[in-house]
C-alpha cells in the first residue's frame, strides 16, 4: 500500500465528512501511515479459504412474527427530539442542498 500524503489525508477526511485544519492534517498523516503500515502485514498472508467470516453467528434467515406493538408513544418521541409535544412531526435540518450548492 502506498503511503498517504497530506492530499490523501484531506481526501479521506472528506469521504468521512470530517474537516481538518493543517495541523490536524500533519498529525493524522503520521498516525494514519503508522496504522497503514500495520495493516500492510495482511498482505503476507497466503489465503487457504475463500470463505469470508462476516459475523461469528450461526443465525441465518431468522424470522420473528410481525406483530404490531405500541412501543413508542408520540409525546415521548417528540420530547426526546426536543420538539413541543403538540407538534405533529419531528423537525430535522434541511437535508436537500440548494441547486447553486
Partner 1 sequence: MKKTNYLEKSFKELNELLKNKVITPTDLVEEAFARIEESDLNAFITLDKENALKEAKELENMEVDNVLFGLPIAIKDNITTKDLRTTCASHMLENFMPIYDATAVEKLKAKHMIIIGKTNMDEFAMGSTGETSYFGNILNPWNKKLVPGGSSSGSAASVSARIVTSALGSDTGGSIRQPASFCGIVGLKPTYGRVSRHGLIAFGSSLDQIGPMTKTVEDNAILLNAISGVDENDYTSKDVTDDFTTYLGKDIKDLKIAVPTYFMSEQVNETVREKVLEVIHHLMKQGCVVEEVNIPYLEYAIPLYQIIGLGEASSNLARYDGVKYGYKAPNYDSLEDMYEKTRSAGFGEEVKRRIMIGTFMLSGENANQYYHKALKVREMLTDGFRKTFEKYDLIIGPTNTNVAYPLGQKGDDALKSFYDDILTIPVNMAGLPAMSLPIGFTEEHLPIGLHIIASYFNEGKIYTLASYLEKYLNLSLDPNKKEEETC
Find the Cα–Cα–Cα–Cα dihedral 39, 41, 42, 44, rounded to 10°: 160
The Cβ of residue 78 has, within 10 Å, a number of other Cβ atoms equal to 18
What span, in angstroms and rounded, lies between the C-alpha atoms of 26 and 10? Answer: 10
98 binds partner 1 (CB under 8 A): yes
Rule CB under 8 A: say whether 68 interacts with partner 1: no
Shortest separation between residue 49's beta carbon and partner 1, angstroms = 5
Q: Does 80 bind partner 1 (CB under 8 A)?
A: yes
**Per CB under 8 A, does 57 bind partner 1?**
yes
For 20, 50, 52, 54, 65, the CA distances from 61, given in Å and listed in that order, are 42, 22, 18, 15, 13
- Tell me the closest approach of the beta carbon of residue 77 to partner 1, in angstroms: 6
Which residue ranges make up the site for partner 1 (CB under 8 A)?
1, 4, 9, 12-13, 15-20, 27-28, 30-32, 34-36, 38-42, 45, 47-59, 62, 64, 71-72, 76-77, 80, 92-98, 101
Amino acid at each position: 500500500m502506498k503511503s498517504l500524503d497530506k492530499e490523501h489525508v484531506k481526501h479521506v477526511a472528506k469521504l468521512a465528512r470530517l474537516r481538518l485544519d493543517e495541523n490536524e492534517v500533519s498529525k493524522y498523516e503520521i498516525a494514519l501511515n503508522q496504522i497503514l503500515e500495520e495493516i500492510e502485514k495482511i498482505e503476507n498472508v497466503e489465503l487457504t479459504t475463500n470463505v469470508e467470516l462476516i459475523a461469528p453467528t450461526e443465525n441465518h434467515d431468522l424470522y420473528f412474527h410481525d406483530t404490531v406493538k405500541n412501543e413508542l408513544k408520540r409525546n415521548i418521541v417528540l420530547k426526546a427530539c426536543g420538539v413541543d409535544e403538540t407538534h405533529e412531526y419531528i423537525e430535522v435540518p434541511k437535508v436537500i442542498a440548494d441547486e447553486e450548492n
